[in-house]
């Protein structure tokens, strides 16, 4: 069963430089919409286990990566492929929207 990875400024680059698509949820403990979308992100980790990497990055604890990608509103979800941003979603959305973005990058 897939599980979301907790990323940090230190582990971020190593994780996104993957041949598999990587969905990163930029979130914070105090963010209401982040809490709403959290279970959806967990489900995607299970649904795409072995096909994609699903990760979370706490913006309060990891300001370097947050600033590097210009994340100002949370939740922001970025989809990476081979280390490059290939898709972006700002705000809480239904699971189907995120699944489509991830599925589009799965080979």
Other beta carbons less than 10 A from residue 37's beta carbon: 22
- Single out the catalytic residue among 23, 31, 74, 98: 31
pLDDT category of residue 107 using cuts at 50, 70 and 90 = confident
- Single out the catalytic residue among 7, 23, 34, 45: 34
Structural domains of the chain, with CATH = 5-103 (3.40.30.10)
pLDDT digits (tens, 9 = 90+) for 11-22: 999 999 998 999
- pLDDT at residue 97 greater than cutoff 90: yes
Per the annotation, the verdict on 31 as an active-site residue is yes
pLDDT digits (tens, 9 = 90+) for 7-53: 999 999 999 999 899 999 999 999 999 999 999 999 999 999 999 99
pLDDT at 1: 58
Q: What is the pTM of this model?
A: 0.96
Per the annotation, the verdict on 89 as an active-site residue is no
> Do the strands 22-27 and 53-58 form a parallel or antiparallel pair, or are they unpaired?
parallel
């Amino acid at each position: 069963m897939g599980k979301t990875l907790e990323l940090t400024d230190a582990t971020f680059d190593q994780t996104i430089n993957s041949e598999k698509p990587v969905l990163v949820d930029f979130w914070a403990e105090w963010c209401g919409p982040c809490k709403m979308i959290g279970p959806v992100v967990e489900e995607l980790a299970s649904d795409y286990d072995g096909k994609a990497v699903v990760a979370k990055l706490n913006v309060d604890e990891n300001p370097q990566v947050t600033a590097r990608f210009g994340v100002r509103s949370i939740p922001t979800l970025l989809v990476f492929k081979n280390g490059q941003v290939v898709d972006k979603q700002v705000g809480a959305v239904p699971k189907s929207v995120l699944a489509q973005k991830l599925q589009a990058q799965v080979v």
